[in-house]
């Protein structure tokens, strides 16, 4: 199957998506003759000017992001014999909902979020689930319309809370740009003989160990969590973890780490335990063929529930 790369641009209305896509399609380094389906899910004040493109091989289609079907997307790609897709998404819709309707041969090559710095914090205060939805899956976020000398720390903290791997670019009103180079030290000592995880740091710990399991390979960790019993590994394994909320109550999910423990079947589901365990980076069905953290219990003891049952960032 020939895969069709999809370049996704997210953000709210008037955040600069159209302007950036226009300039990108004017660049011969990006637009070298590939047949490109330009999929627009949100019409703003800016319009695309096809006369400036080095090749007349860009085909605009406007769709309703909320209702468009897989068959309709397949038909559009076939109609234009598309070799790739550039998608401008509607900021008021969830990105993941559309991804589930992408044709099987569409593969997201890059996802970039654009954010107007003058309105971004207001969006975050009033529609946090939509903001986090776009930050969590993005490879890059561009904060534009920033005044030179403005405090960038609030933007940095918010983006990093959602996605530690996301690249951050600040685009200033004087025409200059700056990549974010602020270091984010972890709130625990990863080089300690035993990495002690405080209750309030579990969400950060879980995200870090699952994103970079090899960094923890051979280390020992200690944390408090609830017992989750695994269907496939009923004997000798369980998954201690916590319910984690990324942005709002709707996205709370249990985040557990598979743990080898010979007395696992004696544990009570949802009970609280303190786990001390050695970490290894290996494959497990939970990780769908990828490397992930797997624990080997050194000690499992009963514990009092965390002050906040749901862990947050």
pLDDT band at 72 (very low <50, low <70, confident <90, very high): very high
Contact yes or no for 58/38 (Cβ under 8 A): yes
Tell me the pTM: 0.70
Across all residues in the chain, what is the average pLDDT?
Answer: 93
Q: What is the pLDDT of residue 217?
A: 97
Q: What is the pLDDT of residue 242?
A: 97
Span 56-75, average pLDDT: 96
Instruction: Burial-class residue 79 by CB neighbours within 10 Å (0-12, 13-18, 19+).
Output: exposed
pLDDT digits (tens, 9 = 90+) for 257-310: 999 999 998 999 999 999 999 999 998 888 888 899 999 999 999 999 999 988
How many angstroms separate the CA atoms of 256 and 243, rounded? 8
Q: What is the pLDDT of residue 249?
A: 63
Q: What is the pLDDT of residue 250?
A: 65
Span 130-139, average pLDDT: 93
pLDDT digits (tens, 9 = 90+) for 191-200: 999 999 999 9
pLDDT digits (tens, 9 = 90+) for 141-185: 999 999 999 999 999 999 988 887 899 999 999 999 999 999 878
From 20-24, 107-111, 299-303, 309-313, the region with the lowest mean pLDDT = 309-313
């Amino acid at each position: 199957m020939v895969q069709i790369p999809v370049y996704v641009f997210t953000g709210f209305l008037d955040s600069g998506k159209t302007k950036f896509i226009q300039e990108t399609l004017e660049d011969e380094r990006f637009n070298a003759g590939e047949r490109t389906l330009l999929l627009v899910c949100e019409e703003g004040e800016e319009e695309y000017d096809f006369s400036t493109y080095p090749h007349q091989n860009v085909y605009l289609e406007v769709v309703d992001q909320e209702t468009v079907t897989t068959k309709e997307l397949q038909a559009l790609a076939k109609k234009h014999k598309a070799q790739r897709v550039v998608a401008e998404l509607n900021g008021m819709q969830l990105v993941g909902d559309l991804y589930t309707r992408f044709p099987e041969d569409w593969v997201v090559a890059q996802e970039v979020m654009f954010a107007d710095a003058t309105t971004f914090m207001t969006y975050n205060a009033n529609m946090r689930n939509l903001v986090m939805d776009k930050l969590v899956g993005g490879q890059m976020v561009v904060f534009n319309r920033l005044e030179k000398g403005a405090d960038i720390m609030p933007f940095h903290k918010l983006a990093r809370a959602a996605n530690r791997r996301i690249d951050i670019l600040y685009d200033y009103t004087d025409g200059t740009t700056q990549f974010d180079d602020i270091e984010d030290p972890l709130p625990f000592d990863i080089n300690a003989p035993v990495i002690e995880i405080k209750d309030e740091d579990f969400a950060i710990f879980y995200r870090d160990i699952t994103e970079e399991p090899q960094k923890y390979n051979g280390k020992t960790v200690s944390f408090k969590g609830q017992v989750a019993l695994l269907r496939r590994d009923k004997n000798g394994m369980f998954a201690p973890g916590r319910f984690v909320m990324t942005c709002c109550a709707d996205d709370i999910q249990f985040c557990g780490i598979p743990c080898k423990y010979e007395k696992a079947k004696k544990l009570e589901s949802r009970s609280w335990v303190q786990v001390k365990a050695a970490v290894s980076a290996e494959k497990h069905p939970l990780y769908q063929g990828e490397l992930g953290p797997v624990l080997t219990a050194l000690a499992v003891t009963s514990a009092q529930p965390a002050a906040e049952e749901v862990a947050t960032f």
